[in-house]
Chains A and B, each alone.
Chain A
Amino acid sequence: MKTFSRIVQVIIFSLIAGIVINQFHSQGMSWRTLILPAFSKYGLVETNMIIVSADSALVLFNNKSTIFIDVRKNEDFQIDHIPLAHNIPSSSIMRADFSDFDQVIFKNNVLLYDQEGDLERLKLISNVWPSQGEKRVYILFGGYLSWLQNQNPVEFDG
C-alpha cells in the first residue's frame, strides 16, 4: 500500500511538473490544448466548429468569406496548397502561439485543413483556435487530399 501510494505520488508530481514546464517552454504544449478538449467532449465548452466536405469548402472558397488555414508543416505547404491559404502549423497552434501571425485572421471565419483530415487533431486545434466573437471554424473533411481529389484549384510555390 505504501509502495502504491508513493508510485501515485511520483506520477502526480511528474504530471504537475510536466504541465508547469510546458507552460514556460517556448515549444511546449499550451494548457488549453491539454484541458479544453476534456470539457468540449462533454459539451462544457462551446465550439463553433463545423465539418465541411471539399464541395462545401469550394463554395466557401469562391465566396471569399472564409480564410483558409493550412495546418500542415511548412515544408508541405511550400510544395502546394489551397490558393491564398495561410500556413499556421499545428505545432504552433498546440502551443497557442499566434503572435507571429496576422491578427486579422482571428477576426474572420476560418477553414482549417491538414493533409488527410485527421478529425481528432483538427477538433483539438479548433478548441485552441483563438477566434474572436461568433466566428466559425470550419474543418475540411478528408483534408487537402479530398480537395485535390475534387480537382479544386491549387497553388504551387516556387
Chain B
Amino acid sequence: MDKSTRGKNILLLILRLFFGCLFIYSGFVKIADPQNFAESIENYQIFGTWLSQWGAVLIPALEIVLGLMLLLGFWMKEALLLTAGLFVIFDVMVIQAAARGLNIACGCFSSSQNGLIDLWKILANSVLTVLIFTAYFLFPKKSQSAN
C-alpha cells in the first residue's frame, strides 16, 4: 500500500467515525422528542402535518442505522450514499427556508425549537455535505463487493 492510499484510508476512517458518531448522536436527540422534531419539519412548510409525522418517525431511526453502518463498516457504499443524500435534502430544506425568510429552528442536530437558521448554519451544513461526498469518493469502489 503506497503512502497516498494509506492517507486516503486514514481520512476515510476519520470521516466515517465522525459522521457515524454525529448521526447516532443526532438520531438519539431527535428520537427523544419526536413531537418536537415533527413540528420542526412542519415549520419548513414543505410537507404537511401528516408527512412531517412520518418524517419524525423515519429520519431519527435512519440516522441511527446509518451511524451504526458507518461505524461498523457495513454496506459502506450504500451508507455513504444515503448519508450524502440526507445531507443534500437537509441543505435544500435549510436554504429554501432561508430564501423564503422563514424564521424557524433548523432542527438539524436536535429536536428543539432553538437555534434559528442563519448563514452559519447553512455554511456548516454545506461543509458537512462536502465532507460526506469526499468520504464517498474516497471509498475504494473496487472493494464494494467485498462488503
Give chain A's interface residues, CB within 8 Å of chain B: 3, 6-7, 10-11, 13-15, 17-19, 21-22, 25, 27-29, 33-34, 37-38, 91, 94-95, 118, 120-121, 124
Contacts and interface: CB of A to CB of B under 8 A. Distances in A.
B98 interface: no
Given A10-B69, A10-B75, A118-B49, A15 B35 contact: no
Interface magnitude class on chain B: 20 to 34
Given A28-B34, A29-B34, A11 B62 contact: yes
Contact of A21 (B33, B35, B61, B78): B61
B61 A14 contact: yes
Contact of B77 (A3, A37, A118, A120): A3
Interface in B48-64: 48-50, 53-54, 56-58, 60-62, 64
Contacts of A94: 35, 38, 53
Given A10-B66, A27-B32, A120-B50, A3 B57 contact: no
Interface of B: 31-35, 38, 48-50, 53-54, 56-58, 60-62, 64-66, 69, 75, 77-79, 81-82
Name the residue among B61, B77, B79 with the largest chain A CB count within 10 angstroms: B61
B81 A15 contact: no
A115 B29 CA distance: 28
A37 B50 contact: yes
B54 A25 contact: no
Given A21-B31, A120-B50, A124-B49, A29 B78 contact: no
Contact of B50 (A7, A21, A124): A124
Contact of A91 (B35, B78, B79): B35
Contact of A6 (B48, B62, B78): B78
A37 B66 CA distance: 29
Nearest to B48: A120
A11 B58 CA distance: 8
Contact of A18 (B33, B60, B77, B81): B60
Given A14-B58, A15-B57, A120-B49, A27 B35 contact: yes
